[in-house]
Amino acid sequence: MAIRGIVKYPDLTLKQACLPVTAVTGETVRLIRDMVDTMYAAPGVGLAAIQVGVPQRIIVVDIDVEQPGKNLLKLINPEIRRAEGEVTWEEGCLSVVDFTAEVRRAARVEVVGLDDREREVKVDAEGLLSVALQHEIDHLDGKLFIDRISRLKRNLYTRKLKKMLRTGKPLRENPRLMI
């Protein structure tokens, strides 16, 4: 079990667009295993490779907190093929500490990617799974959920965070499960 450090906002690493994975190697499989361990330890329901400092198009998602691992998704080069409807969901993020906000997303999505054995995976999702997939795929494009909220709310959070960092006051992590 290898738990990696999670990159925190405002680190500019999180703004990077990730590169597609061209071949699944042993290193890729180890990264995915580390991402899963890191996500569960955080605790969270999703994690993108860029959140552990690796700019590759890889995400892991598991919204089943009652039976971790049973419905775990490991997706390489995921893309949203279809999106419909609209839902507003209160989101948080393992990389954006001590902050949640309501975000509008597609209510249902179809996501296609590869698993860690290079087999195609198609996921039809709604509810939390749809939101989590969209949230993690946003990370791969260098976008955070706070980029989807009003500039006023984002600026208030950024000022609060900078003040906390400047004063040395430790950041209190939100104990709720984060995407």
- CA gyration radius for the chain? 16
Contact of 128 with 108, CB cutoff 8 Å? no
DSSP string, the chain: --PPPPP-TT-GGGGPPPBPP-S--HHHHHHHHHHHHHHHHTTBSEEEGGGGT--BSEEEE---SSSTTTT-EEEEEEEEEEEES-EEEEEEETTEEEEEEEEEE-SEEEEEEE-TTS-EEEEEEEHHHHHHHHHHHHHHTT--GGGGS-HHHHHHHHHHHHHHHHHTPPPPPP-S-B-
| pLDDT score at 172 | 57
6-15, 25-34, 107-116, 155-164: least confidently modelled range: 155-164
pLDDT digits (tens, 9 = 90+) for 73-126: 999 999 999 999 999 999 999 999 889 999 999 999 999 999 999 999 999 999
Domain locations along the chain: 12-167
First-last CA distance in the chain: 21
What pLDDT is stored for residue 177 in this prediction?
58
Mean pLDDT, residues 19-45 taken together: 98
**Segment (H or E) for 109:** strand 108-114
Q: According to the model, what pLDDT value does residue 166 have?
A: 87
| Residue closest to 56 by CA, chosen among 22, 9, 79, 8 | 22
In this structure, what token pair is assigned to residue 8? 């925190």
pLDDT (average), residues 149-155: 94
Mean pLDDT of the chain: 94
pLDDT of residue 169: 74
Average pLDDT, integer, range 175-179: 60
* 27, 84, 86, 136: the active-site residue: 136
**pLDDT for residue 109:** 98
pLDDT in tens, 49-77: 999 999 999 999 999 999 999 999 999 99
Better pLDDT: 158 or 21: 21
| % of residues, the chain, pLDDT over 70 | 94
What pLDDT, on the 0 to 100 scale, is given for residue 50?
Answer: 98
CATH of region 12-167, choose from 1.10.3720.10, 3.40.50.1100, 3.30.70.80, 3.90.45.10: 3.90.45.10
138 vs 163 pLDDT, higher one: 138
| 136 tagged catalytic | yes
Q: Distance of CA 106 to CAs 83, 88, 126, 131, Å?
A: 6, 9, 9, 8
Between CA 110 and CA 90 the distance in angstroms is: 21
Encoded tokens for 156:
């208030």
